[in-house]
Structure 1
Amino acid sequence: MLETRLNQDPDLTQRTTSGLLSVHGFATLILTPLVAIAADKTPSRKTPLIIALIVCLGGTILVALTPNLWSIYVGRILQGVSGSAAWIICLAMLTDSAKEGQVGRMMGISMSVVLSGTVGGPSVAGGLLQWAGYWPAWSVPIGLILINIVARIVTKDLPKPSAISTPPSRSGISTDGQDLSGERDVETAETSPLLSQSANAHDAPCEDKDDPQNAEVSFYYEMLGDCRILSSISTTILFSILIAGFNTTLPVHLRTIFNWGPSDVGIMFLLLRVPAIILGPLMGWARDHIGLRYPTTIGWALLAPLMLCLAIPTGPENHGKAFYITCLTCTGFVTTLVQGAGVLHTITILKDIESRRPYIFGPNGGMSRVFAINEVAFNAGLMLGPLLSGMLSEAVGYFSMSLTLASICLANAVFVWSFFERGIAQSKNLK
């Protein structure tokens, strides 16, 4: 697009491409929280979703037309903001409609679908561009967005779950104390153990409060003041840092130690991502049944030595290639333990707070803003990952970079172990 349609100097292509990618992430960081607040203020999720899809369609068409460079920047901003808005609204809809004990599995399925698009999208686009031409390649995303708009128009709107909470029952307590139900009624037993914990961590219980309709406070002040939320954010941002770090350093590193080209590097990326596509639903089911604390902690603990192992091979001698491929495949499987855990844990904390203090985040709750927190964290990691990994790799070497990331993974395992389990002891006593 830059060189053929705009006749830009090829020497400027890398710089311009980096700028287009950065402005997408920057716009998402700034505007996603505002979009989420607006989504939570509206009584329906259907209308803001349709608006987001229409804006995304306009941004995509603007980028495809490529009349000038500034239009591409504007189109990328529209794509980023509207795409993030559609993402958080759809996740909120999935959570609202999920049955008790099935949010983890539904999230796992959705993540598998997303990863399939992430892995398959560039391949489909590249093939169509090469074999059919420019506009046939763009017809796929434009057509998919149009189908989505029509589907949302004809789909019946689901009412948002009420922020009102009634006394919790004990039928849905998970073994790890994590409420992953997504049930519209927030009175699941899962909230029961968290009530006792939260009463110590925050204000007095709901019955000691004034009228809950007058209790609405700043959502981000309340949520970000909770260490459990911070542990969720650390999991989300560190996962995206690792993904972005692989994207930045893997091609150069593999070319240096094994002299591998683009096709070989592409296969390595498949080894990283395909396990998550296959195991996503299974991991979601496991989280619904055993909770989040144990698999997430184990995942971060295992990633620490794997990051070091990936930096050990220095050449094809002594089975270096086989060792590297094995370690990278294991990394792909282990990342399924931590992927999406931050989002699910944040949902748990939201339900805890709303069950204890109804209407604190407004009559429609704060579900969209929960996903906005994780969306901002993920995009922050995508921006920090290339900077951190790239600078460390150049300044101190690939092994030292891997050692630094391994240390961060290990520290996050301790953080998760400390704060993902809040309220478990009380839940066991209740049983």
Structure 2
Amino acid sequence: MSDEDHGQTEYGWRSSRILIISTACLALFTETLLYGFVVPILPYMLEVRLHIDPSQTQSITSALLSVHGFATLILTPLIAAAADKTPNRKIPLIISLVVCLGGTVLVAFTPTLWAIYLGRILQGVSGSAAWIICLAMLTDNAGPGRVGRVMGLSMSVVMTGTVAGPTVAGALLEWMGYWPAWSVPIGIILINIAGRLITEEPQKPPPSPPRTEEDVENAETSPLLSGSDSECSAETFSQDKDTCLPAPSSFYWVMLRDCRVLASISTTTVNSIIIAGFNATLPVHLRAIFNWGSFTVGMMFLLIRIPTIVFGPFMGMLRDHVGLRYPTALGWLLLTPLIFCLGIPSGPEHHGKEFFVTCIACIGLGSTLIQGAGVLHTITILRDVELKQPQIFGRQGGLSRVFAINEVSFNAGLMFGPLLAGGLTEAIGYSYMNIILAVICFANAVFVFYFFEKGISQSEK
């Protein structure tokens, strides 16, 4: 019996791969649901529960959505470094879920405005920790040759949470009331905690020495290549440069100097800016021009996200055949006129509602070409670098730090998106704000076209 089978037998069904993957996916779903859940409810919370002047709703909404991204932007690299050193991820994930529960309860009770800010910060920090821990759990428990399928499943779950947040919140608030709406995320978090208490990760066997002919050959020649640096460990040895590079710092130094990685970061960041910008401006804008309530606003968010859930697997097949460059550049190019047109309707006359809904639906379709492209491209670049310089980022590689780079990029967009979209809407109007976002999309299309890889790297095949 192998070590892995022995570990699974020791705990029985509690350490089954399916259960561990399911609890990780549920945690990812919960964290993405919570970010957008508050969006349709915020006007009610601010104006009815806290009696704040409606003229301040837009600016406060933008600030509350930004503080979520700001907290995660600062702490994500520290959380990623700590997660890499944690042998068992059960306790850290439980702690993050408990913190998330506290932040959600604080936001839901809405005692004061500063308490909502504190609750959003707690949600952001716990969400970032859960995201990194869960991705590591999925990678560890996927099994040989199944990482891609498991990660694809997790991304579908994440997008479902993104869609469900504002949609479910808007519908429950309008149909059932304030507290029935908040009971849903609080109940899901409690289920998360219970599920994580039940599961037990199997004991991992100690890493074995290199066994293949190539590994043995590399191990025998490494001291000769490094010369006087022969005492360097395998985790710090760079074969091409004949130097000892500290793995934690050299990863960011090597990767962030590559324009291809910067293009990946740009794609992830701008995409999250648009998502967060819509979250910050659509509820107030649609109430002002069409007098739409929380349910209809929630349906607009559903219309944006549902194409990614439906067509996501087909997009994966397309990327496998033609690579990432052309679909991603085309996606940004299509979003340019669509986001520009989104700002044209100024009222219910002249079929403004129909035109607006059509633009939203087309933006959702165009976004399928962009979703996930940034992280996939960064992983492709990582594999190319590690193929040319084996163990440059340590024996375990740099995959977890790739997740950290993209998490920071996405959270930067979550922080700046509401400030940019909300600030521009208040300063120059909703239509001109959309023009600026359209220009950013066009610039990103050019950046992606010049720096994204044409196809899949050899190491990914």
Are the structure 2 counterparts of residues 299 and 74 from structure 1 closer, same or farther at C-alpha, using a change threshold of 3 Å?
same
Which residue number corresponds to residue 195 of structure 1? Answer: none
Q: Which stretch of the first structure deviates more once superposed, 250-259 or 223-232?
A: 250-259
**Does the aligned pair in 1 maintain the 2:156–2:309 contact within 8 Å?**
yes
Q: Could you tell me which amino acid in structure 1 is paired with residue 360 of structure 2?
A: L
Offset of 1:212 from its aligned partner?
Answer: 6.6
1:333 to 365, 386, 406: 365
Which residue number corresponds to residue 295 of structure 1? Answer: 327
Q: For residues 383 and 365 of structure 1, what CA distance do their matches in structure 2 show?
A: 29
Which residue number corresponds to residue 432 of structure 2? Answer: 400
1:118 to 162, 178, 186: 162
| DSSP-derived class of the 2:360 partner | helix
1:55 aligned onto 2:55: no
Q: Could you tell me which amino acid in structure 1 is paired with residue 267 of structure 2?
A: T
Offset of 1:288 from its aligned partner?
Answer: 3.8
**Does the aligned pair in 1 maintain the 2:345–2:352 contact within 8 Å?**
yes
1:286 to 310, 318, 321: 318
Q: For residues 56 and 163 of structure 1, what CA distance do their matches in structure 2 show?
A: 38
Measured against aligned partners, the alpha-carbon deviations of 1:306-349 in whole angstroms (never above 9, x if no partner) come to 12222334555554433332222111111111011111112222
Q: For residues 377 and 125 of structure 2, what CA distance do their matches in structure 1 show?
A: 24
Which blocks of at least 5 consecutive residues in structure 2 are unaligned? 1-41, 215-236
**TM-score of the two chains, using structure 2 as the length reference:** 0.70
**TM-score of the two chains, using structure 1 as the length reference:** 0.74
The alignment's C-alpha RMSD in Å is 4.2
Measured against aligned partners, the alpha-carbon deviations of 1:232-268 in whole angstroms (never above 9, x if no partner) come to 1100110111112222333454455555454443332
Offset of 1:107 from its aligned partner?
Answer: 4.1
Q: For residues 388 and 376 of structure 2, what CA distance do their matches in structure 1 show?
A: 19
| DSSP-derived class of the 2:442 partner | helix
1:156 to 192, 198, 201: 201
Are the structure 2 counterparts of residues 146 and 290 from structure 1 closer, same or farther at C-alpha, using a change threshold of 3 Å?
farther
Which residue number corresponds to residue 340 of structure 2? Answer: 308
**Does the aligned pair in 2 maintain the 1:32–1:376 contact within 8 Å?**
yes
Q: For residues 355 and 377 of structure 1, what CA distance do their matches in structure 2 show?
A: 25
Q: For residues 110 and 353 of structure 2, what CA distance do their matches in structure 1 show?
A: 42
Counterparts of 1:9-20 in structure 2, within 5 Å, are 9-11=51-53, 14=57, 20=64
Are the structure 2 counterparts of residues 121 and 215 from structure 1 closer, same or farther at C-alpha, using a change threshold of 3 Å?
closer
Which residue number corresponds to residue 257 of structure 2? Answer: 225
Q: Identity of aligned pairs, percent?
A: 65
1:91 aligned onto 2:123: no
Q: How many residues are aligned here?
A: 392
Are the structure 2 counterparts of residues 388 and 20 from structure 1 closer, same or farther at C-alpha, using a change threshold of 3 Å?
closer
Which residue number corresponds to residue 75 of structure 2? Answer: 31
1:141 to 146, 163, 185: 185
Which residue number corresponds to residue 76 of structure 1? Answer: 120
| DSSP-derived class of the 2:201 partner | coil
Q: Which stretch of the first structure deviates more once superposed, 321-330 or 72-81?
A: 72-81
**Does the aligned pair in 2 maintain the 1:283–1:336 contact within 8 Å?**
yes
**Does the aligned pair in 1 maintain the 2:384–2:458 contact within 8 Å?**
no
Q: For residues 350 and 172 of structure 2, what CA distance do their matches in structure 1 show?
A: 41
